[in-house]
Amino acid sequence: MMTGRRAERDCGEKMTRGLVFDIKRYSIHDGPGIRTTFFLKGCPLSCWWCHNPEGISPQPVLLRHPNRCIGCGRCIAVCPSGAWSRKADGRLSHDKEKCTLCGICADTCPPSAIEIAGREMTLGDVVQEAQKDIPFYDESGGGVTFSGGEPLLQSRFLFACLLKLQDEEIHTAIDTSGYCEEKNILEAAEIADLFLFDIKHIDPKKHEYYTGVSNRIILSNLGKLDETLVRRGRGRINIRMPLIPGINDDTENLEAVAELSASLKTLSGVNILPYHSTGEGKYRNLVMEYKMGNYLPPREDKIAEALDIFRRQGIEAVKGG
């Protein structure tokens, strides 16, 4: 028979819900080993190069994939709000004002040309999904990563997931911009095993220009996170830096980020993430402006130079990851 306390906890788990816009299984780029990554909705930054723009809004969004559409018209027929129509040239039109994001069209579209990014999941759902991959975690030293968006925006849901996964002895990582309330990152520091901490630019003005926010809170949170992990005697930080020619790849910036990384007592390494434009199509599908049209991925010699700057500080720096 279930004890009162256990019943209370199970009931609490059912009530704890978050908004997740994607789940990536068998990921080898979101922390050590093979991982299951949950992408949580909402981000206070709007980085020009974001490759998950569907995760920025804290609300669900309807994402279209016109290249998959077979023109069957089922979306027009099933929408209870009359949000879909066909234009004179035969193309589909979607009226955002009428759409209630009920998801019926996405569920019935045969080739999945419509997607609702942002579905509610309970704590139990997350744990159930993670448990399916335990054999892979055990084999590879992997675990679960929470990414986004900014996962610390949904802090209550995130902490509940971390605690439950900790009970299950599953390794946990948080992929964060570091832009959040200090108390949230410090609470996470008491539970999570690894922080994948993004540093995009050391200059506060340039940081604000390209991401929409200053890096003041981010750098302060990074220092406090490091101190907390030292005190806890457990948990590590991995710095992740997107490398974007013409934005943050100058020697001065790279040296400053390398120096900052080297000052962290709980640093496990640095990942240099070369910019790529694979997210561009999503901007079109979301009818959002893509500001990176004129930017190219970094050349291999520039990536090698960047890695060198970090390695000269004695840091284990790798490309990608």
- Catalog residues that contact ligand SF4 under the rule CB under 6 A: 62, 69-75, 79, 81, 83-84, 92, 99-105, 109-111, 113-114
Taking alpha carbons only, the member of 181, 132, 135 closest to residue 158 is: 181
> Which 3 state secondary structure label does DSSP give 256?
helix
Q: Which is nearer to ligand SF4, 73 or 135 (CB)?
A: 73
Cβ atoms 133, 34 nearer than 8 A:
yes
- One-character DSSP codes across 109-148: -TT--EEEE-EEEEHHHHHHHHHTTHHHHHHHT-EEEEEE
Q: How far is the CB of 63 from ligand SF4 (least distance, A)?
A: 11
Coil, strand or helix at 205: helix
Q: How far is CA 287 from the centre of its chain?
A: 21
Q: Count the residues in the chain.
A: 321
Report the nearest approach of ligand SF4 to the CB of residue 57 (Å). Answer: 15
Which 3 state secondary structure label does DSSP give 150?
A: coil
CB of 194 to ligand SF4, least distance (A): 36
Shortest distance in whole angstroms from residue 205 CB to ligand SF4: 40
CA distance 313 to 11: 50
For ligand SF4, the closer of residues 83 and 292 by Cβ is: 83
Kindly tell me which of 104 and 260 has the beta carbon lying closer to ligand SF4.
104
With contact defined as beta carbons under 8 Å apart, do 164 and 9 qualify? no
Cβ proximity to ligand SF4: between 69 and 260 the closer is 69
Q: What minimum distance in Å lies between the beta carbon of 76 and ligand SF4?
A: 7
Neighbours of 33 (CB within 10 A): 16
Minimum CB distance to ligand SF4 smaller for 113 or for 192: 113
Find the shortest distance in angstroms from Cβ 22 to ligand SF4.
18
The residue among 71 and 314 lying less far from ligand SF4, judged by its C-beta, is 71
Q: What is the 3-state secondary structure (H, E, C) of 11-51?
A: HHHHHCEEEEEEEEEEECCCCCCCEEEEEECCCCCCCCCCC
Q: Which residues contact 243 (CB under 8 A, 6 or more apart)?
A: 249, 272, 273, 274, 275, 298, 302, 303, 306
Q: Rounded to the nearest 5°, which phi and psi values hold at 226?
A: -60, -45
Instruction: Pick the closer one to ligand SF4 by CB: 79 or 180.
Output: 79
User: Smaller CB distance to ligand SF4: residue 108 or 277?
Assistant: 108
